[in-house]
Every structure is written in structure tokens, then in C-alpha cells.
Amino acid sequence: MKKALAILSAALFSALCLASCGGTDGTSSSSESSQESSAASTSSAESSEGSSSEESQAEESSAETDAAAEFTTVTEGVLTMATNAEFPPYEYYEGDTIVGIDAEVAQLIADELGLTLEIADIAFDSIVPGVQSGKYDIGVAGMTIDEKRLESVNFSTPYATGIQAVIVTEDSDITSVDDLAGKTIGVQTNTTGDIKACEDFGMENVVQYDNGAMAVEGLKSGKVDCVIIDNEPAKSYAAANEGLKVLETEYAVEEYAICFSKENAALQEAVNGILEDLIADGSVQEIVDKYIKAE
């Protein structure tokens, strides 16, 4: 009995030491972000509109701080985000830097957590397995919450809406989704556009590409008759490539969220608390407005 206690306290001691003595190296760059308390207090003031309801937001925000103290990350002091940076305006390159809505939202989250953000640009269909196996802390990639993915990872509160759209050449005879039967459809591998196109039009009619840009090249060179991809990237690609247009019809409406390993509920809780505040105080909308101009 005594022995067990001794072992336990030794373990506790080393855990404490790890938490307080370890890893001060290289984490100083984002430590200036201690203004979070003022941002957090405005959101609880806003919630008073539903004063007759009994939801206790106060409890939620204290759970948020507890969780923030407990989570672990792949590399101490660093929030490692997996993405696939061929998806403007959510993630794309400006020179050597990955920019976009997801990169900026993740940066705000990392700042609030007191962590340095590192972004890994990988194949889209490696993001869920990479996050699931604990190689990356979070996946942020304009990723749609989907049943199949939910078997492998957890998702945050949604932070954006995505619509599957259809890109065609300006002279195309395809005018709506109804015209797609029997046509050859280009998609990015394992995206929801791919999954839905295979379900609705048969996988023999679907051509998978590594990314949206390559699918668009396929359309321009006549290898496919259209590309199904999320509407904002669709608009970016159509704007950047002459002779292409996006059909008015919406093919599917989806929600984007951040994914986490099921083993890291504490990180999910901490990120969710911050994300919800960033949505409530308009910070996410501000970033969206910077990248997506109203027409």
C-alpha cells in the first residue's frame, strides 16, 4: 500500500516537473497573446439575450480553461496543423507562405492557446489518417463534417459553410446538375465532391486528381467535362482561368470544421471554446470577409 503511494507520488512529481520544467525552447514567439481575457468577456455578455433559457454558459467557459491546461500536442509548445494548400481562399500559397481563411483562423487559435502554429501541407486524403494516428494535432482544410470521417476523427463546431459547385467551360452544354449524367467529372481524390459524384453518377464517370488545380487542368484540356469542387475554390479557379464558369446550381451544402484525434478530447474542448468565442465576437467573419468579397 505504502509502496503504491510512493510510486504514485513519484509519478505525480515527474508529471509536474515535465509540465513546469520542460520545453521552454522555441515557444516564445507567440507568447505575447495574453489579451485573450478581454475577448472572452465580451462573448459572455452577448449571451444574455436568451436570459429565460437555463443554459449555463458560465460553466462552459470555465470548462474551457480547465481543458486548456490539460491537453497535449505532438510537439510541446507547437500546434501542428495538417492541411492541403491547394484550396483557395481557405489555404493556398503566397510565395512560400501558406495563407488563407483556415491558416488565419488556426493562427488565432494557436495564439489563444499560447502555441506556435506549424502548418504541414500534405495530400488531402492523408489529413484524416494523420490526425487520427496522432501525427498532427489538428486538420484544418475546408474539411466537411462527414459520417465516414466521424468514424476516425472528431470534429469541432462548424466555422463555415461550403457548397459543392460545378465548374464547366464557357461553351459547355452542361447547364445544371441534371445534365451531369453520362458526363466525365473531375474531382479531388476523397473529397466530398468525389464521394457524392461517385454515388450519384457512378465512379466510372469520375476522374480523381491530387488537387483542385489539376482537376481544373483536366477540364481545360478536355479530359473531363466538368469539375465538382467547393464553391469558393471553384470561383477562384474560374477567375484565374479564362474560359471557365461556375454553374449557378448548388450541388450539396456542407459544413466545414476542424478535426482532432479521438484520443485528444482535451485539445478539442480547448479549441472549441476558443473557436466559439472567435465566431461569436466576429473574428472569423472578419477573416472570411478579408478573403471573400461580397459580389
Q: Which residues bind ligand ARG (CB under 6 A)?
A: 83-84, 86-87, 91, 124, 141-144, 162, 188, 191-192, 230
State the Cα–Cα distance between residues 174 and 181, nearest whole angstrom: 10
Query: Whole-number minimum distance, CB 229 to ligand ARG, in Å?
Result: 7
| Other beta carbons within 10 Å of 194 | 24
Enter the DSSP assignment of 143: P
Query: Whole-number minimum distance, CB 65 to ligand ARG, in Å?
Result: 31
For ligand ARG, the closer CB: 66 or 250 = 250
Query: Whole-number minimum distance, CB 188 to ligand ARG, in Å?
Result: 6
Q: Which residue has the cell 486524403?
A: 125
Query: Whole-number minimum distance, CB 141 to ligand ARG, in Å?
Result: 4
Query: Whole-number minimum distance, CB 211 to ligand ARG, in Å?
Result: 6
User: What cell was used for 214?
Assistant: 489539376
- How far lies 136's CA from each of 31, 81, 122, in Å? 21, 6, 11
For ligand ARG, the closer CB: 162 or 218 = 162
User: What cell was used for 77?
Assistant: 509548445
State the Cα–Cα distance between residues 103 and 109, nearest whole angstrom: 10
Query: Whole-number minimum distance, CB 293 to ligand ARG, in Å?
Result: 20
User: What cell was used for 161?
Assistant: 459553410
For ligand ARG, the closer CB: 143 or 287 = 143
Amino acid, single-letter form, for residue 49: E
Cβ(255)–Cβ(139) under 8 Å?
A: no
- DSSP-H helix ranges across the chain: 2-21, 36-46, 57-70, 101-113, 124-132, 147-150, 192-201, 212-220, 231-240, 265-280, 283-291
Going by C-alpha positions, the residue among 25, 129, 18, 135 that lies closest to residue 80 is 135
For ligand ARG, the closer CB: 113 or 141 = 141
**3-state DSSP call for residue 207?**
strand
Query: Whole-number minimum distance, CB 207 to ligand ARG, in Å?
Result: 16
For ligand ARG, the closer CB: 84 or 272 = 84
